[in-house]
Amino acid sequence: MKSKNEWRTDKEYVSIVADLLAQPAVQKLANYTQHHHSTRLQHSIAVSYDSYKIAKKMHLDYRSTARAGLLHDLFYYDWRTTKFNLGTHAFIHPRVALRNAEKLTPLNKKEKDIILKHMFGATLAVPRYPESLIVSLVDDFEAEHEFFGPLRAKMRRKIKKRRMRTTW
């Protein structure tokens, strides 16, 4: 994503997800930290929008990709502290997100698969559709970007300061 708010100017994207973004259950994601430097809502929008752009460019079902991408992490607990007896967070949270998403809106088979399989790689749940794989890969990319982005920026500033000191 070029900027955190680029998605706001894409009228087609906004029209696809506007009903979901208006839901208090989706807005509630803004209250949860995700990958240390973003909220779960910011993360979900980034995954949704970048996945939507890729699916659209590839002439795939970008509508289902955008909607399921937005709902892929629809859960309300801190995954760093909440533990489950039934399995790891990577295994559990897609099921919780799917259950929560089904309470908000009807989902087609592809949207369900996207939400359930978005942890492919960390789990053995193999995506059935190309759109599911896109969301899974974009989710990984966004997680890395959100976690390491501020650290990279800090390092760039330090390097720039050092260069400025050595040129005088």
C-beta neighbour count of 91 within 10 angstroms: 15
| Range with lowest mean pLDDT among 28-37, 84-93, 97-106 | 84-93
Cα–Cα distances (Å) from 136 to 8, 15, 48, 68, in that order, read 23, 23, 11, 11
Domain membership of residue 119 (yes or no) is: yes
**Position 1 in a domain:** no
* pTM over cut 0.85: no
User: CB of 116 within 8 A of CB of 94?
Assistant: yes
Is residue 76 a part of any domain in this protein?
Answer: yes
Residue 137 inside a domain? The answer is yes
Is 140 part of a structural domain of the chain? yes
Q: What angle do CA 8, 76, 45 make, to 5 degrees?
A: 15
pLDDT of residue 97: 93
SS3 label, residue 132: helix
Q: What is the CATH number of the domain that holds 10?
A: 1.10.3210.10
Domain count, the chain: 1
Q: Is residue 113 part of a domain?
A: yes
Residues 6+ away with beta carbon under 8 Å from 132 = 110, 113, 114, 117, 118, 120
User: What's the pLDDT tens digit per position in 112-159?
Assistant: 999 999 888 777 789 999 999 999 999 988 888 877 766 766 777 777
Give the CA radius of gyration of the chain. Answer: 17
Domain with 62 in it: 6-167
pLDDT of res. 153: 66
User: Is 91 within the bounds of a domain?
Assistant: yes
